[in-house]
Amino acid sequence: MAGNDVKVLGAWPSPYVMRPRIALNIKSVAYDILEEQFGSKSELLLKSNPVYKKIPVLIHDGKPISESLIIVQYIDEVWNSGPSILPSDPYDRAIARFWATYIDDKWFPAMRGIAAAQGEDAQKAAMEPVVEGLVLLEDAFKNCSKGKKFFGGNKIGYLDIALGCFLGWMRVTEKMNNIKLLDEAKTPGLYKWAEDFCADSAVKDVMPATDKLAEAAKLILAKIRAQASS
């Protein structure tokens, strides 16, 4: 498949954009990344995703697909050039989708709340649901991985992609707030999983460096605050 048949509209700091990129790497599919700038939306983005007007968008043979987890499922169904991303068993597939929804709807929004916390007490309160969520995900990892390296078994799968795309931002949150979220003592399975995930060939060239992402985070926060005060 030629790269110009597959395009990803996105921005490198976005964890959601990482998802289709990792999935395409797993399937050994060449693609072009079309960078969107934070704070502006290209005409191609507005045309490709007129409902949500958000990245990422996968454009395959001129047809757009939106929403990161839907894109990952699409990639898994369209290309047989690599290992399956979603579990083959219907129950395992349902469980993976359940936890992926939990991560997007509950866990990551809670982690974003840490940045907004003012003062030590507020920060501790903001951290609680994030740490509690990681303990829940540690248990999910034990059940889904069945003693193997990843949620998906021996290879990165759907739930690995759903959670792993946020590891860069978790490290930035830890660095900028001088806290520890992923604790080897409390969540040893996830701690080792995070190392294995970031070292995987499908991920390592897509996962942004913590310092680079932290600089981007400062710029994004400054723009958001400037917009809020204007």
Average pLDDT across the chain, whole number: 94
Q: Tell me if the bond preceding 56 is cis, omega within 30° of 0.
A: yes
What is the residue type of 18?
M
Instruction: Tell me: pLDDT of 1 over 60.
Output: no
CA 102 – CA 108 distance, rounded (Å): 9
Task: Provide the domain limits for residue 25.
Answer: 6-79
**Are 104 and 210 part of one and the same domain?**
yes
Strand order across the beta sheet in which 57-60 lies:
32-35, 6-10, 57-60, 63-66
Asked, for residue 143, whether it belongs to a domain, the answer is yes
Evaluate if residue 94 carries a pLDDT over 50: yes
Check whether residue 175 and residue 217 sit in a common domain: yes
210 and 98 within one domain: yes
Decide: 158 and 85 in contact? Cβ < 8 Å.
yes
Angle between helices 167-177 and 210-229 (to 10 degrees): 70
User: How far is residue 124 from each of residues 15, 108, 113, 128, 172, measured CA to CA in Å?
Assistant: 24, 16, 11, 6, 17
Total count of domains within the chain: 2
62 φ/ψ sector (left φ>0, alpha ψ -120 to 50, else beta): left
Q: For a pLDDT cut of 90, what percent of the chain falls above it?
A: 86
pLDDT in the model for residue 33: 96
Q: What number is the average pLDDT over the span 6-11?
A: 97
**What number is the average pLDDT over the span 71-99?**
97
Task: Say if residue 214 is in the same domain as residue 103.
Answer: yes
pLDDT of residue 69: 98
How confident is the model at residue 207, as a pLDDT? Answer: 97
> Considering only 99-113, 187-201, 214-228, which range has the smallest mean pLDDT?
214-228
Residue 3 above 50 pLDDT? no
pLDDT (0 to 100) of residue 169:
96
22 and 109 belong to one structural domain: no
Domain membership flag for residue 128: yes
**Whole-prediction pTM:** 0.94
